Structure 1
């Protein structure tokens, strides 16, 4: 078969592949979101399978988180001489929001490797599994919110209209959950040690983040802010917790918390789009 030539007798240039472009990355995210019936069903099925043949089912999530939060709140409240009416809601909210962060990171790092069969058999956007992981984490988070409702009924924290700030805070949580799943999920598929490293790091960061302790407990003898309290500001997770926890505690949220979280979100999405552009098409070969 003779090659096709143009009027000048020169063969046309071969078509340029767009598999590694930002446009294809955005298209994958958009196509995956449009298939929400699929990832909503898969995420809900994951929860049902996890607690199959269990009498209480997903309520075990609530019970486990609630018991841990109350036990830690009472124990560390006594150790730090904190008012239990303040400290118990503080610790409970810390566990609830940290649970969402931890679940998103750890489950996101294995979201592709644990769905090898589905990825190879079902030609679908990679982002479907990203949205599936975030949706599953939100279901677990919703179960844990019941704990705060109970705590609120008992201790009645002084809430005002600033409690509505939890809505944009959760929006930022979801945006971060998506890019975290993209970056760690795809890179962990290529380098399996990343998942193990994240498991170790998440435990370390838990104790470095004000969840079972407060920055107020780090004040110096004169009552001012100590150097240890200033070091806590270097932990991004502290700022993520503050934008969601403080409104539900009836406390103001400092502007720098929002600035840092929004900045981290923007940087995370830049990394996510870079990973989607360069490695999205390799996921079926790596799993």
Structure 2
């Protein structure tokens, strides 16, 4: 699996255009990797995780044609992860090549499907509302839905994902606090002794800022260490931190120094992981 980070910021972007704090000012000065759009990843050009308000900007920024996307996985209904209006841009009114578009599977947490149906028409989209801890087989991928330790917008159960393709395993753990015991147990069961090759972790809260439903720097490190002890990952596994808030995280160059000492990759918009 090839993973492209389309966005790596928390809800307000980084820098926040309405903020002149030290981190935002430094990010504007440093530019490049310190300029972050809202969080989303694209896998193999055909599987998209989260569909927030920056998806048009990020796709254009990296020259990506999202007509190839066949599956969209939504973690939860917060607006930085699901901007429902995006779905309209696939419709005949906006797409001049609608007839050529592939059918898309839109997989969302329970209770979120009914909200989407109320707010837009779904053309060439199959909507599936799912519970945590189920297994989906989609176009060569096996997707295991995980229960995230996070809050909801519409009463849905927020999700993370364990994805396998051709014995390549990815754990997507963004917008979650410390992993729930039942989630760890489910991951161990599905791995059945195998190792996760790539782990993407929520790092919203940054330096010395605790919050139950996101992780900070220390919790990212402790999660990596715990996964190693549990045999979920090994020394060859890539662990990547993402979803940074400007309120709690320094600019990219400083973050990179911090995380690299712990063997963790600091994500940036445009980062590709194979």
TM-score above 0.5, yes or no:
no
Larger-gyration structure (1/2): 1
Which structure has more relative contact order (CA 8 Å, sep 6+)? It is: 1
Name the one with the larger helix percent: 1
What TM-score results when the alignment is normalised by the length of structure 2?
0.21
Name the one with the larger strand percent: 2
What TM-score results when the alignment is normalised by the length of structure 1?
0.21
